[in-house]
């Protein structure tokens, strides 16, 4: 049992940081009443955490490759715990939003290192089991957030959704003593500050532009300016990384289509499976008039199914080609999203359950394999970088899809959170969200099935160079 303590530490941290992405959405009404928060402030309470997590993941992964994965992991735990305490004690929205940003920094440090630590700690069948359990934590966390949030908000208060992180973080810190991660830091190379700044600017401006466009319209000058500047910052990031000797993200990794397709799959998974859950929760509370706890329980089927499938998949799918697990999982997510189109004006909460169950199966199949497959197609020295990139694309998929879906829903219902939308209008908006989600999942699934088996695998050739090899000679142990 001792050998699984590192897995327990990593899984606890993953559950904690991913639950904090969605847990605030259920507590938002109580939080708004207590702090007299505006809707814009509530949006930033959710969005700044995800934005910091997405923008800093690759920087954290790059830093971990230099100073050691365990060091960065433990530092992230400490920062996350301190920020959670600050969130729970926040006297106003400004301090809460700032603390959420710091929380995202700690989450980035943990999330950028967890899969790399598992990949370097376990091998063979143990690795498959470890990634299966870790994938179960990934799959269950996003849907479990609203459930836990509803329970704590209704029976304790909204501050408890942040303070509950403290005992979990303490347990993970104690277990982290057993996390060794058989890595040798590459040395005291310089952190790619221009890359960090340009990528953070690009991600921040693009997300802000999408949120602003959803609120003020796509012709709004600030929205257009933010999107244009975000695009320019992204181009600047590419230019900077191509010139850096030790880049935050080695763009040569994308020469291998396997790596590119896996990044696409990571973004497609979170966009199609998780971003829409926020609006299902809103539908349950504003249209069906469920309380916070019951609204969270509506999402429980997806959490349970994802956990069971991911946990069993590590054992049952050992040796199955990664493209089948990932591609098939994404197609199942698309099929589940398509079932969501059955929701109509008179539908109750049972109407969404079949969709959530099928999506949960797809999430459970694909989530752990994306992580292990990404590590398999890069050199060991790039493990932290690749893991950070994979997790960045996952969070960017969520962060970018969320404001887009809000715009889609508002275009149909006209009133997203105010409770003024008719059941017919809200159902129409949900149908549009499910349709877009299904399209994203189907595109990602077919891309994986078509391209992953015919692509090359990145191998290390010298101190800087990367070469490619036939994937038939490489093993993706997932």
Q: According to the model, what pLDDT value does residue 470 have?
A: 39
Q: According to the model, what pLDDT value does residue 463 have?
A: 41
Select from 258, 246, 163, 164 the least CA-distant residue to 471. 258
Q: According to the model, what pLDDT value does residue 370 have?
A: 87
pTM of the model: 0.81
Kindly state the DSSP code that residue 190 receives in the 8-state scheme.
P
Q: What does each C-alpha distance from 81 to 7, 107, 194, 437 come to in angstroms?
A: 19, 10, 29, 33
Residue 361, classified by CB atoms within 10 Å of its CB into exposed (0-12), middle (13-18) or buried (19+), is buried
Sign of CA dihedral 378, 380, 385, 391: positive
Q: According to the model, what pLDDT value does residue 86 have?
A: 96
Strand partners, 421: none
Q: According to the model, what pLDDT value does residue 211 have?
A: 76
Instruction: Give pLDDT tens digits along the chain (478 positions).
Output: 677 888 888 888 988 998 888 888 788 777 877 888 776 677 778 878 988 888 888 778 778 877 888 889 999 999 999 999 999 999 998 999 999 999 999 999 998 888 778 877 887 778 878 887 887 776 667 667 878 888 898 889 899 999 999 999 999 988 887 776 545 555 545 677 888 889 888 988 888 888 788 777 788 899 899 999 999 999 999 999 888 887 878 888 888 788 999 999 999 999 999 888 888 887 887 788 888 888 888 888 887 888 788 777 666 666 778 888 899 999 999 999 999 998 888 888 899 999 999 999 999 888 878 878 888 888 777 776 777 788 788 888 988 888 888 888 877 665 555 555 678 888 888 999 999 999 999 999 999 998 886 444 444 444 444 444 433 333 444 3
Which string of DSSP letters, residue by residue, matches 225-285? HHHHHHHHHHHHHHHHHHH-SS-SS-GGGGGSHHHHHHHHHHHHHHHHHTTTHHHHHHHHH
Show the CA angle centred on residue 129, arms to residues 310 and 337, nearest 5°: 15
Q: According to the model, what pLDDT value does residue 85 have?
A: 97
Q: According to the model, what pLDDT value does residue 39 have?
A: 63
Q: According to the model, what pLDDT value does residue 83 have?
A: 97
């Amino acid at each position: 049992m001792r050998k699984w303590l590192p897995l327990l530490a990593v899984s606890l941290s993953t559950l904690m940081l991913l639950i904090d992405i969605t847990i605030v959405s259920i507590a938002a009404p109580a939080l708004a009443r207590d702090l007299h928060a505006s809707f814009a402030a509530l949006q930033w309470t959710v969005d700044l955490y995800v934005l910091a997590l997405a923008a800093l993941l690759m920087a954290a992964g790059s830093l971990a490759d230099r100073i050691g994965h365990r060091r960065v992991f433990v530092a992230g735990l400490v920062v996350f715990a301190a920020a959670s305490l600050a969130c729970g004690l926040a006297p106003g929205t400004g301090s809460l939003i700032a603390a959420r940003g710091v929380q995202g920094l700690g989450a980035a440090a943990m999330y950028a290192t967890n899969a790399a630590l598992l990949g370097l700690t376990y091998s063979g069948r143990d690795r498959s089991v470890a990634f299966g359990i870790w994938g179960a934590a990934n799959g269950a966390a996003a849907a479990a957030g609203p459930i836990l949030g509803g329970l704590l908000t209704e029976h304790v208060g909204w501050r408890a959704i942040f303070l509950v992180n403290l005992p979990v973080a303490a347990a993970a810190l104690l277990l982290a003593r057993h996390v060794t991660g058989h890595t040798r830091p590459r040395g005291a190379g310089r952190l790619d500050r221009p890359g960090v700044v340009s990528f953070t600017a690009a991600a921040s401006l693009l997300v802000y532009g999408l949120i602003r466009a959803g609120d003020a319209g796509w012709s709004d000058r600030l929205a257009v300016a933010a999107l244009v500047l975000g695009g320019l910052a992204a181009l600047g990031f590419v230019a900077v990384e191509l010139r850096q000797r030790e880049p935050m993200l080695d763009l040569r990794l994308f020469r291998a289509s396997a790596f590119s397709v896996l990044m696409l799959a990571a973004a497609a998974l979170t966009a199609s499976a998780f971003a829409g859950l926020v609006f299902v929760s809103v539908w349950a509370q504003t249209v069906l008039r469920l309380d916070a706890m019951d609204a969270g329980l509506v999402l429980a089927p997806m959490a349970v199914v994802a956990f069971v499938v991911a946990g069993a998949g590590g054992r049952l799918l050992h040796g199955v080609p990664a493209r089948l697990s990932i591609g098939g999982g994404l197609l199942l997510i698309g099929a589940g999203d398509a079932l969501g189109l059955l929701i109509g004006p008179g539908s109750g909460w049972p109407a969404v359950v079949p969709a959530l169950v099928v999506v949960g199966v797809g999430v459970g199949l694909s989530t752990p394999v994306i992580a292990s497959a990404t590590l398999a197609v890069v050199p060991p020295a790039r493990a932290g970088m690749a893991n950070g990139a994979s997790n960045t694309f996952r969070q960017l998929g969520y962060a970018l899809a969320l404001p887009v879906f809000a715009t889609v829903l508002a275009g149909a219902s006209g009133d997203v959170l105010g409770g003024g939308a008719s059941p017919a209008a809200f159902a129409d908006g949900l149908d549009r969200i499910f349709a877009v989600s299904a399209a994203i999942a189907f595109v990602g699934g077919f891309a994986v099935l078509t391209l992953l088996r015919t692509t090359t695998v990145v191998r290390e050739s010298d101190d800087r160079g990367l070469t490619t090899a036939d994937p038939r000679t490489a093993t993706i142990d997932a």
